[in-house]
Chain A
Amino acid sequence: MEKTVDTTGVRIGMWLFLYSEVLLFGGLFVLYAAYFHRYPEFFVEGGKELDRVIGALNTVVLLVSSFTVAASITALQRNKKTQSISFLLFSIFCGFIFLVNKYFEWGAKFSHDIYPNSDTLTFGEPGLNIFFGLYYVITGLHGLHVIIGMTLLAVALWYVIRGKVNAERFGLLENAGLYWHLVDLIWIFVFPLFYLVL
């Protein structure tokens, strides 16, 4: 049965899904809260080890990419396909930059012998081990979401180029954009929890 697409319904479905993603990270934030309560001084100490410049840079990169995704949707709605495509490409590029930064950041930690099961963490203070354990799990899972988000944006890009997603039917691009905003939003919480902890 062919019917007009109920965009509101599709959007509700997407929001519900995003809700579940937030709760997925919520479980990790519960762990963070419990352990922060137990080891406040080591969380502070660990936080100082992290590179705030790269962290801040990544925050800016993600915020800008969120803006360009939103801009690409608006561009498409106004029938400016080329503009929309270039905005999307730029957003995916931002995601890529984010991952490259993350790679160097993790790499630097590894070379300082800070990674799960490293001697420094295993035989050092338990509080520090927990801090960096959480750091790797949360930023790792977030990184995974960045990759998923980039894939979704790439799929949307493909459909925009082929004209299947256009000014009339932009639900897919909009939902991919929503997902990208979620990735951004989670980072907005992750960043201060690890990098700016007092």
Chain B
Amino acid sequence: MSATQSFYETPAPAHLKGIWAWLLTHDHKRLGLMYFWAIVVWLMLAMIFGMLLRTELMSAGRTIMGPEMYNSLFTLHGVIMIFLFVIPAIPAIFGNFFLPIQIGADDVFFPRLNLLSWYLFMIGGLFAIVALFTGEGFPDTGWTFYVPFSVSASSNVSLTVTAAFILGMSSMLTGLNFITTVHRMRDKTMGWLQIPLFTWSLYATAWVQLLATPIISITLFLVVIERVFSIGLFDPLKGGDPVLYQHLFWMYSHPAVYIMVLPGMGIISEVIAVFSRKAIFGYKGLVASSLAIAVTGSLVWAHHMYTSGMSDVAVFVFSLLTYLVAIPTAIKVFSWLATMYKGSIEMSPPLLYALLFIYLFSVGGLTGLVLGAVGPDIHTHDTHFVVGHFHFTMFGGTGFAFFAGLHYWWPKMFGIMYNMKRAYIAAILTTVGFIFHYIPMLILGLQGMPRRYYDYLPQFETGNFLAGFGGFLMIVGLALMFYNLFMSFKEKVAATDDPWGGTTLEWTIPTPPPLHNFVREPEVKSFPYDFTEVIAQSQKEKK
């Protein structure tokens, strides 16, 4: 067995064969790829649901489905997108694959626990599917499972909630694994301030996963308890308080927003630095802002509840804290811009996605400030404005960061390069569709169209039609993007070890990586984003 054989050819543990080499593997890279395929399937499913929803809304009245189907579909779209795509996508795929490599390790600290996390993820997904067909109708509570409806609904909410519970467990164990890995497996010569920013962002995320997930676990557990025993902990008739449910739910689910977006920001930091051929601006600031987002992001949950009935003092405090999160986020955006300033920018699909991320995520962040302030929130609460806002952050943010990461690391993961031209066209199509899709929602929301409504007044028809049209355009763009990526398996254009001129450790090893990642001892740079060698190399090539 030569040292340069890729991990595709070397099963771990070594005695495994065929499909078992994947299903029982301890190798973080194989697990990353297994997550990849599972998550891509979920993403496509949820995308189709989303498209059906918007098709229904394209004209007033019944278009393609009835109101109950509509409620179930937006629940499914939300549950799948949140729990099976946005939360796990970047940590589970790229985190598993690249975190150990970026810190010079040969695997995560608990490889078997990592395998267990994958199985929990799959079981959670399976439960979510089984839940659809075992109750009276599909669950239609929305992804937030608000009481009292989630307790009284006749569909199989218990199983859906259990699915979310198991998925939470999977994400928590992944977080636990990453924290231990970063602490114990890091190359001896790599100090804390030599860790690449993607790994830093995963580390901050892992803490949020670990600290916030148990809260959702217990909350969902209580929903099941209420459904089975009807104790009445959230039932006003029996002395309970439904608003407490909302507190517990958002205590997790708001930090979860940062679980979703922090790893994405990590990807953007990598991509922007590499394609600007310039040391990242404010490395320490970026690290500190990741941690600051993780901390302050955990203290703002009640801004989802301004209209639920809270004291004015609480509303004021949560509004203030919400505004504080904007500071570290802005630090990140300005650092990225300052990195590009006077850099020698080289356009590439990952960079294009990163730039689109900055733009779309900024819109998402700024509309978030509208909602974070109490006055405008009372006006826009539960309207399409909110839908537009969080799609700008979740999809325009995390989604586009995921695509950037996909195009950035694709050659390293699979050893093949995709078609650049098609990648550009797909990115632009998706973005144009995106803007047509979500800007109308922001406007509709300001005009007063509520979210989650099956039907609407005639004056909202133009906006909804435009949104639907944009949705189709976006789907075409995304389809083209995946077509392009998957075609690379057929076209088989081999990728070099370092196609982009990256400086972090994953670009110093063979493509695709060998089983133990490093053929020789990793050389840790004193600063991870030192591009002098890359620039010198490219100048030599020009001569």
Residues of A within 8 A of B (CB): 1, 6, 8-9, 12-13, 16-17, 19-21, 23-28, 30-31, 34-35, 38-39, 116-117, 121-122, 125-130, 133-134, 136-137, 141
A137→B180 contact, CB < 8 A: no
Q: How far is the CA of A137 from the CA of B234 in the complex (A)?
A: 13
Contact-residue size bin, chain B (C-beta under 8 Å from the other chain): 35 or more
Residues of B within 8 A of A (CB): 106, 109-110, 113, 172, 176-177, 179-180, 183-185, 210-211, 213-215, 217-219, 221-222, 225, 229-233, 237-241, 244, 247-248, 251, 516
Within the complex, which residue of B210, B213, B218, B238 is in contact with A28, where a contact is CB–CB below 8 Å? B218
The 6 closest A-B pairs by CB, nearest first: A126-B239, A27-B218, A9-B184, A23-B214, A133-B231, A24-B214
Within the complex, which residue of A17, A39, A136 is in contact with B239, where a contact is CB–CB below 8 Å? A39
B219→A130 contact, CB < 8 A: no
Query: Is the contact region of chain B dominated by helix, strand, or loop, or is it mixed?
Result: helix
Q: How far is the CA of A189 from the CA of B239 in the complex (A)?
A: 24
Tell me whether A117 and B244 are in contact in the complex, defined as CB-CB below 8 angstroms, given that A9-B109, A26-B214 are known contacts.
no
Find chain A residues with CB under 8 A from B185 CB: 9
A13, A26, A39 pick with most chain B CB within 10 angstroms: A13
A24→B238 contact, CB < 8 A: no
Task: Kindly provide the distance from the CB of B376 to the nearest chain A CB, expressed in whole angstroms.
Answer: 29
A122→B180 contact, CB < 8 A: no
B244→A130 contact, CB < 8 A: no
Q: How far is the CA of A39 from the CA of B229 in the complex (A)?
A: 22
Find chain A residues with CB under 8 A from B251 CB: 27, 30
Q: Which residue on chain A has the smallest CB distance to residue B207?
A: A16
Within the complex, which residue of B184, B218, B238 is in contact with A126, where a contact is CB–CB below 8 Å? B238
15 contacts between A and B (CB under 8 A): A6-B184, A8-B184, A12-B179, A12-B183, A13-B109, A13-B180, A19-B210, A21-B214, A23-B211, A24-B218, A31-B233, A34-B241, A116-B229, A128-B239, A130-B240
Task: Kindly provide the distance from the CB of A175 to the nearest chain B CB, expressed in whole angstroms.
Answer: 12
Find chain B residues with CB under 8 A from A125 CB: 239
Q: How far is the CA of A188 from the CA of B198 in the complex (A)?
A: 41
B231→A24 contact, CB < 8 A: no
B218→A16 contact, CB < 8 A: no
Task: Kindly provide the distance from the CB of B151 to the nearest chain A CB, expressed in whole angstroms.
Answer: 13
Within the complex, which residue of B179, B215, B232 is in contact with A23, where a contact is CB–CB below 8 Å? B215
Tell me whether A117 and B230 are in contact in the complex, defined as CB-CB below 8 angstroms, given that A19-B210, A34-B244 are known contacts.
yes
A130→B233 contact, CB < 8 A: yes
A136→B231 contact, CB < 8 A: yes
Question: Can you name 9 extra interface pairs (CB under 8 A) apart from A24-B214, A31-B244?
Answer: A8-B184, A9-B109, A9-B184, A17-B176, A20-B210, A116-B231, A122-B238, A136-B229, A136-B231
B210→A16 contact, CB < 8 A: yes
B176→A16 contact, CB < 8 A: yes
B219→A27 contact, CB < 8 A: yes
Q: How far is the CA of A129 from the CA of B235 in the complex (A)?
A: 11
